[in-house]
Chains A and B, each alone.
Chain A
Amino acid sequence: EDQVTQSPEALRLQEGESSSLNCSYTVSGLRGLFWYRQDPGKGPEFLFTLYSAGEEKEKERLKATLTKKESFLHITAPKPEDSATYLCAVQGTQGGSEKLVFGKGTKLTVNP
């Protein structure tokens, strides 16, 4: 069964203090690893898709990396508007299903 574990559950940073969020996964053949941002009261918003180990993607202050067992979301010089819950999800090859398996998320708070 595909599984995703995210750590830490919550993270508080000062504005400008860089850090990383972790997503560990087990999957029967990785079709894709996805990062989403979720603001309170809203649906998840797509950030990145990573397909194979060694792949990296960047968007503004965010950079996602992937190994065979985990992914990191690096946040460089965060701003208060980066405060949100960040969700990681995997899509495996088992059964040919299109479903995503999500982790519980990391709640990020960036203080000014």
Chain B
Amino acid sequence: GAGVSQSPRYKVTKRGQDVALRCDPISGHVSLYWYRQALGQGPEFLTYFNYEAQQDKSGLPNDRFSAERPEGSISTLTIQRTEQRDSAMYRCASSGGSRVWYFGPGTRLLVL
């Protein structure tokens, strides 16, 4: 079926606002991952889920960042009280157990 989708593709917000980034994984994929990618860098791990359970959140930079996947499908990454240093490309990936990660197109976040 369709690949991993993310929305919005671009988000411009003012410092101090909250943002919610959505990831729709490939249908049937158990595992879902969030990464952040700065320009000219490789993706940096944030957190991942198996089904609805958040298994590892060690990469979340601070407590302003949170993620959920309540029904084991769509996931939301929320950033509260955004700061300029949060500006980056946020990428989602999903995996169906084959140990191949399929990445989405990303959400470009710009905090003014």
Contact = CB atoms under 8 A, between A and B. Distances in A.
A102 B93 CA distance: 14
Interface stretch (A41-49, A55-63, A66-74): A41-49
B106 to A, nearest CB: 6
A100 interface: yes
Given A32-B99, A44-B103, A102 B44 contact: yes
Nearest to B56: A97
**In the A-B complex, the 7 residue pairs with the closest CB atoms:** A102-B42, A43-B103, A99-B45, A97-B56, A44-B103, A46-B100, A102-B43
Interface residues of A, number: 23
Given A43-B104, A49-B100, A104-B41, A98 B4 contact: no
Contacts of B91: 43-44
A90 B93 CA distance: 16
Nearest to B104: A43
A99 B55 CA distance: 10
Given A97-B48, A99-B33, 6 more contacts: A34-B101, A43-B103, A95-B56, A97-B58, A98-B50, A101-B45
